[in-house]
Amino acid sequence: MSTLHDLIFDYTLRNVALGGMLLGIVAGVLGAFAVLRRQALLGDTLSHAALPGICIAFMLTNSRAPLVLLIGAGIAGWIGTLIFLRTIKATKLSEDTMLGVVLSVFFGVGILLLTFIQQQNNANQAGLDKYLFGQAASLIGRDVRTFAVLGLGALIILFLCYKEFKLLSFDPEFAASLGLPVRNLDIMLTSLLVVAVMIGLQTVGVVLMAAMIIGPGTAARQWTDNLRTMLWLSGLFGGLAGVTGAVISVQASRLPTGPMIILALTAIVAVSLLFAPRHGIVAELVRTRNKRNEFQALLEKGPQS
Amino acid sequence: MTAGTAILLTGILCAVACALPGTFLILRRMAMMTDAISHAILPGLVFGYWMAGSANIIVGAVGATAAAIVTVTLVEALQRTRRVEGAEAMGIVFPAMFALGTILISRYFAQVHLDTDAILYGNIEFSAFDRLIVSGRDLGPQSLWVMSVLLVLNIGVLTLLYKELKISTFDPALSQSLGFSPTLVHYLLMLLLSITTVGAFTAVGAILVVALVIVPAATAYLLTERLLHMMIGSAIIGALGAIGGYWLAIIIDGSIAGGIVTMLGILFTLALLFSPSQGLVAQRSRNARNRDRFAVDLLVMHLATHERTEDEYSESSLGHIGAALRWSPDEALTTIRRATDRGMVVRANGNVVLTDQGRHYVDRLIKVRRLAVEQ
């Protein structure tokens, strides 16, 4: 199949597909934890909060190198998360309110900085706004290698601290009573999410990042009740969406990669919600109908003498 | 009216119009719905243009409002399947819609210059120049009319439904038992939010509408406990943000919408730090005060427990108190000094002794906190 051939030998397709796949896997696995901890939209907030970080990184270094800008993005996202966590613990403001505050204020500051930079007529600043919509088609080998290192590092840490993260997600009080450093674990898990967002920013952009975090985990949840299985499935679904979206967008014309990945992911979520064996909607409808028929038959048979 | 005045007025009206429904949104813990709706506006706009075949702003606005309503409906439908939480549902629906919108733009509107910058942060800077022309008469800046209508709409609906909104926000079960459906109130609020978001979006762009709805209300929430005060407060804070942000943007030559949000962020931070009840500074001093009072309570309880026992002498010696209660010598001395200042203990020959006032205090402590004391 020529697509399979291109997947290996065509430079652009290979990089875009690899980039999409890596993003899908990392965002999927880490997003599953975010969903479990009811921090689903934290990915959305992190990606919006990254904008001022990108601008400041550019203003300080005058470099457009993705790694530099992404580090700025990561730091800003991290600061935003710290503010979020601290404020919801200390005040009566709820999580969704603080997510919205951090998201919009950071992004607004980012827009102010971005327009300020654009006014300076600095030739280097063109293309800073590609992080808003993502530009997966412009991924080069070096970018993909950076993602691979970051993503692999994040997954290794996750693997090493799996038990602690699992406990932290389901029963933080118990974890604390066991003497686990709950706050540090919290910060570490959130930092891993920041890494996932950093990878995703260049591929799908600020707005669509939320789906990359939430989608795979939501889809995986429908197929299993086991956490380990759920994580594997999240990675699988995310990677699958990444590759599918990338391949379709490169083959067709005028179909931007980021949105295609999201549409592929949404399809996976829809199929999972509908057709998963036990939790699926179709399965539930069938079960309900069978029970109804069974009950009807019992009624007709009348009381057992 | 100068261009600057038009911009400033538009900003103020927009901020106030958005802050009012924002109050109820954050009290109902639905702040992020604003984010979801504002992201869905892009595909709505595009869809409207596509259906109409032209880039007419009215058609776009209708399409955007329809998209907002579709978003809310889909999110709630997903929630009703009970397989997806509220926040997750939003995070699945609005990116999908945004992705669709982006693809539609790429496929069918590649030639048409859809100003993505304007979608993101609006072009309030040009609001003075888009005039509303009716029957050949220039009625002034279009945006001023839109914002005024929005403001009147919001004030009207929220005043009309004030009691219903109040009860269904704080006690949905009660509102149901009183005979009006909290679901209906909810949908009306969502409809109002959708219309407001679309209208405000024409001035300040998608992302910043979220800020205008959420941040002033959150700031006011930190400053007051009363609903009406919160609504009025959020309107005032929104207006202040608009004015301050306008000047900030002029000074550094940046986006006015960005400036407004930055200013709102500054106001929020000030409230977060210095609010008398919720502020971090106030909390720190309150915690310190409580710590000190508790230490004094510990001291007098310790003394009372060991009064008239064999080890009264050793337990109440200056040196021993710190060790017994696990305080450093400095902490012990400070606490003893505080207790002395409050007249509860006196120092006598290297020991600390309860006064009558101190004993009386201990009795009250035991009664009030229902402590049992081993005799």
**Which of B120, B254, B278 has its CB closest to that of A92?**
B278
Q: Say if residue A223's pLDDT is above 60.
A: yes
A interface mutation test: which of B94, B108, B214 has the most A CBs within 10 A? B214
Q: Do B29 and A97 touch (CB under 8 A)?
A: yes
Residue from B37, B255, B278 to probe the interface with A (highest A Cβ count within 10 Å): B255
Which residue in A59, A207, A222 has the most chain B C-beta atoms within 10 A of its own C-beta, making it the best mutation to test that interface? A207
- Do the Cβ atoms of A108 and B92 come within 8 Å? no
Locate all alpha helices (DSSP H) within A120-181, ordered by sequence: 130-133, 141-160, 162-170, 172-177
* CB < 8 Å from B in window 264-283 of A: 266, 269, 273, 279, 281
One-letter amino acid for residue B328 of the chain: S
Please write the tens of the pLDDT for every residue from A154-185.
999 999 999 999 998 889 899 999 998 988 88
Which residues have a Cβ under 8 Å from the Cβ of A294 and sit 6 or more positions away?
Answer: none
pTM of the complete model: 0.86
Interface A-B, measured as beta-carbon pairs within 8 A, has a size of 200
Distance from CA of A207 to the nearest CA of B (A): 7
Contacts of B30 in chain A (CB under 8 A): 96
Measured CA to CA, the distance from residue A221 to residue A214 in angstroms comes to 11
Q: What is the DSSP code (8-state) at residue B317?
A: B
Distance from CA of B356 to the nearest CA of A (A): 39
- CB atoms near residue A62 (< 10 Å): 11
Non-local (6+) Cβ contacts of B43 within 8 A are: B67, B97, B98, B100, B101, B104
Q: Is A40 in Cβ contact with B96 (below 8 Å)?
A: no
Cβ atoms B25, B38 nearer than 8 A: no
CB of A214 within 8 A of CB of A35?
yes
- Residue pLDDT, tens place only, B250-298: 898 888 888 999 999 999 999 999 999 889 999 999 999 999 999 999 9
Nearest to A39 by CA among B118, B86, B138: B86
Q: Do B221 and A93 touch (CB under 8 A)?
A: yes
Alpha-carbon distances, residue A95 vs A31, A137, A164, A198 (angstroms): 17, 35, 23, 22
ipTM of the complex: 0.88
Q: Does the distance separating the beta carbons of A100 and B87 come in below 8 Å?
A: no
Contacts of A109 in chain B (CB under 8 A): 258, 261-262, 265
Cβ contact (<8 Å) for A112 and B117?
A: no
Instruction: Report pLDDT digits (tens) over B138-191.
Output: 777 778 888 899 999 999 999 999 998 999 898 888 888 888 888 888 889 999
Note whether B102 contacts A129, CB cutoff 8 Å. Answer: no
Integer angstrom CA distances of residue B309 from A72, B81, B306, B313, B361: 66, 68, 6, 9, 20
pLDDT in tens, A55-99: 899 889 887 777 888 889 889 999 998 899 889 888 999 988 999
Distance between CA atoms of residues A87 and A202, nearest Å = 29
CA distance A143 to A192: 18
Instruction: Name the H helices within B161-255.
Output: 162-170, 172-177, 182-204, 206-223, 227-252
Burial degree of B154 (CB within 10 A; 0-12, 13-18, 19+): buried
State residue B113's pLDDT score: 56
Determine phi and psi for A180, rounding to 5 degrees. Answer: -70, 145
Question: What value does the mean pLDDT of chain B take?
Answer: 86
